[in-house]
Amino acid sequence: MDKETDVTIVSTNLNKNILTKYPNYHVIDNNFNMEDLCKYTHVIFYNNLNNLSEKKVKEIFTFLKNNHIKFINITNNMEFTLLTAYLIIYDRSNILIEGPTLEVLKNTKLIKRIGLNLPFMVDLSLLLKDYNLLDKIYLDKEELRGVLWP
């Protein structure tokens, strides 16, 4: 994980103790502004982006990447896992699985067994794949519509 620049962490049971596993990362408060983020090389968000729109979260992550700031977003919102390249899933205090985001999300049975859900487009694509209507995961609704109803 050390080489990864943008990471999402989800957990079956979020607890602030998880922050102790990433001591090099500065914990960002709820009322942060973008300029303050530039003070740090490594930042971590603890479940405080969930009420923002996806567009706003993307803006924040783009800003961080453009300023070469490594970040971890710890969240309960599975849709936000698609906004980073690397995903770590904790079951209680142990890492269950980690890796490139889409590769991790393909482990649907494992993820659902521990009580998590999948991002909608991933779930939809994998279910349609089971019905032999798709051959891969589509994250874009326009593209998926074009494939199903050409």
The one-letter amino acid code at 115 reads G
Tokens 């990471």 belong to residue: 7
13 interacts with another protein by CB under 8 A = yes
CB of 39 to another protein, least distance (A): 27
Return the residues of window 22-81 that contact another protein according to CB under 8 A. Answer: 47, 50-51, 53-54, 76-79
Residues 89/95, Cβ–Cβ less than 8 Å: yes
Cβ atoms within 10 Å of 126's Cβ, excluding its own: 16
CB of 142 to another protein, least distance (A): 7
14 interacts with another protein by CB under 8 A = yes
- Chain centroid to CA 100: 10
CA 27, 105, 56 angle in degrees (round to 5)? 45
Residues of this chain that bind another protein (CB under 8 A): 11-15, 47, 50-51, 53-54, 76-79, 114-117, 119-121, 123-124, 127-128, 131, 133, 141-142, 144-145, 148-149
